[in-house]
């Protein structure tokens, strides 16, 4: 499954990219579509079949699951 993580800061996105690399999860940093977030503008797109609840770090604002042309909110920082 594909996901996009959006972040409060650019450094949070870079940190998460490195974190996913350490887990050997395919990922890439990318501009975040404006409809998903107006914060830092950088996101991390990743593909995994693992439980993403175990991949939540404090820098994440939201995570969206990508299904076709839809972006479904699956996590939001409280």
Please give the pLDDT value at position 38: 59
pLDDT for residue 74 is more than 90: yes
What mean pLDDT value characterizes the chain? 91
Q: Model confidence over 11-49: pLDDT tens digits?
A: 999 999 999 999 999 999 999 877 776 566 889 999 999
Q: Beta-carbon neighbour count of residue 22 at 10 Å? A: 8
CA dihedral 13, 17, 23, 26 (to 10 degrees): 130
Residue position matching structure tokens 């996101």: 43
The reply to whether the predicted model has a pTM over 0.95 is no
């Amino acid at each position: 499954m594909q996901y996009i993580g959006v972040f409060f800061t650019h450094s949070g996105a870079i940190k998460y990219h490195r974190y996913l690399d350490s887990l050997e999860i395919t990922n890439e940093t990318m501009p975040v579509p404006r409809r998903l977030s107006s914060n830092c503008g950088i996101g991390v797109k990743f593909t995994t079949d693992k439980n993403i609840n175990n991949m939540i770090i404090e820098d994440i604002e939201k995570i969206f699951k990508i299904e076709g042309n839809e972006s479904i909110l699956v996590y939001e920082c409280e």
